[in-house]
Amino acid sequence: MSPDPRRWLALAVLALAQFMVIMDTSIIAVALPEMQRELGFTPSGLQWVFNAYAVVFGGLLLLGGRLSDLWGARRVFAAGWIALTAGSIVAAAATGPVAEIIGRGIQGVGAALIAPAAMTLLMVLFAGQPSELPKAMAWYGAAAPAGGTAGVFLGGVITEWLSWPWVFIIYVPIGVVTLLVTPKVLPRVPGRRTGMDIAGALAVTAGLALAVYAVVQAPERGWGSSATLVQLGAALVLLLGFVLLQRFVRSPLMPLKVWRTPNLAAANVAMALLGAAWIPMWYFLNLYVQQVLGFGAFASGAALVPMTAFMMLLMTAVTGRLIGRFGTKPLIVTGLVALAAGLGILATADPNGSFLADVLPGSLVSAVGMSLVFIPAMLAAIGGVAPEEGGLASGIVNTTYQVGSALGLAVMTAVATSRGGAELGDKAALTEGFTTAFVVAGAIALAGAVIAALTLRRPRPAAETVPAEPAAAGASH
């Protein structure tokens, strides 16, 4: 099969999409204090500006991956950008917490359609090009952490010189331009018209959302309160109901046989624990920089640029070579240990600390960890699936990362709040709360390393570097 002459231009469009989807989780970070003041969020409610996006994103990714396989990746990619743009308009125009959370949820719907469709398109573009696929994957993978910290930096610039609604308004022109270029540069991927498991999609999304909500509210209500137990029980019933549905419906959202794929389950556990450690690190590091060190919006955004620049350098220039030499398992295990070490360094932060002593070293070590885990775990998860299950595998691995992120942030917010992390103006109490969250997140990363070491299989490095060509034709992130 001759390569698509537009493949590198198309890769730029897909990497931009990945960049923007992940940036949407972070661009609001610096603007959170201003949004809290103007929209009236409570300290515990404020995390829903992030979690509304993450939960809907994670909850609908299975459906997004399935739609990509059934209706065609380019069509679903475009639909996702329409939803993301519409949600940005709602979020920018919000005058209270409810409207803001609704807007963020609509953005999450768009992201859940864009992410798996983008990876399907990437794999189609580079199918039959085994020498080019690792490079394409590296650039696409690097777009995620780049979007994460670019979001913090741009959020700082916008909050400093404009106002918080502009962190959403900037998505509108980008969405319009992307929709215009999509039919010109992205390949048309035919879908397979079959049934749709709407009941399964509703059950898994509601179950995940209810579980996160119960964890978020538990510190105020009590972990043993009837409300918390009822909500967690209902979430469990919904998720078990989803699994049962997959056994009996004609066109299941997640055919259970996919879990027979080698390393799929183990790689997803690693991704979930990576999200549960990484996102709280990013969230509380930003709060520490602003609320303890006293950095302004622009300065706090700039403070995280070294971490992301270092991470991008490692992902694009080093990670691919290491995968080729050692395989994915050693990198995932080593990366999670490095992330735990970075969080341990951040946990030594001082109320009267400085950027150079208390932020930079730990953030750079954490960046090493993220750069070693993200792409190898993604490849381990999707590398062995059949073509017709590519979007499904992508949806699963994205779901576990996003749900791990949301639950990790909810737990860490509860931990930080219980140790003084909500005591604005009290630097000592804030630092104790944030550093406690770093310690718990580090323990999660370390647990992830142990589990990965025990559960991941280690095929030959060459088999891991590039997914088999039949799988590449339909796999997605």
Which pLDDT score is estimated for 469?
31
CA torsion sign, 289 to 291 to 295 to 296?
positive
C-alpha–C-alpha distance, residues 318 and 35, integer Å: 39
Which pLDDT score is estimated for 471?
30
Which pLDDT score is estimated for 131?
67
Of the two residues 342 and 255, the one the predictor is more confident about is 342
**Average of per-residue pLDDT values in the chain:** 81
- Yes or no: is domain 7-196+251-472 CATH 3.30.450.20? no
92 closest CA partner among 5, 158, 16, 191:
158
For residue 386, pLDDT over 70 is answered with no
Of the two residues 261 and 195, the one the predictor is more confident about is 261
- Looking up tokens 């994957």 gives 137
Q: Any idea how long the chain is?
A: 477
Which pLDDT score is estimated for 270?
92
Burial of 5 (0-12, 13-18, 19+ CB in 10 A): exposed
- Looking up tokens 């396989």 gives 69
Which amino acid, 126?
F
Q: Which helix (H) or strand (E) holds 442?
A: helix 427-455
CB atoms within 10 A of CB 85: 21
C-alpha–C-alpha distance, residues 268 and 270, integer Å: 5
User: Which pLDDT band, with edges at 50, 70 and 90, does 238 fall under?
Assistant: very high
Q: How far is CA 287 from CA 362, 415, 426, 439, in A?
A: 15, 15, 13, 16
Question: Where do the domains of the chain lie?
Answer: 7-196+251-472, 197-250
Which pLDDT score is estimated for 67?
81
For residue 388, pLDDT over 70 is answered with no
List pLDDT tens digits, range 280-336: 888 788 888 888 888 876 787 778 788 878 887 888 788 878 887 888 899 999 999
List pLDDT tens digits, range 42-73: 766 777 787 788 778 767 777 787 788 778 88
List pLDDT tens digits, range 369-378: 998 998 888 8
Which pLDDT score is estimated for 299?
80
Which pLDDT score is estimated for 5?
73
For residues 337-350, give the mean pLDDT.
Answer: 94
Query: Within its chain, how far is the Cα of 123 from the centroid?
Result: 20
User: Which pLDDT band, with edges at 50, 70 and 90, does 463 fall under?
Assistant: very low
Q: How far is CA 285 from CA 29, 339, 375, 438, in A?
A: 10, 14, 23, 9
Which pLDDT score is estimated for 390?
60
List pLDDT tens digits, range 408-458: 877 888 788 878 876 777 888 889 899 999 999 999 999 999 999 999 886
List pLDDT tens digits, range 27-37: 777 777 778 88
For residue 361, pLDDT over 70 is answered with yes
Q: What percent of the chain has pLDDT above 90?
A: 22
Helix axes 7-26, 73-93, angle to 10 degrees: 30
C-alpha–C-alpha distance, residues 383 and 8, integer Å: 22
Q: What percent of the chain has pLDDT above 70?
A: 86
Q: Which of 25-29, 142-146, 358-362, 467-471 has the highest mean pLDDT?
A: 358-362
For residues 149-164, give the mean pLDDT.
Answer: 76
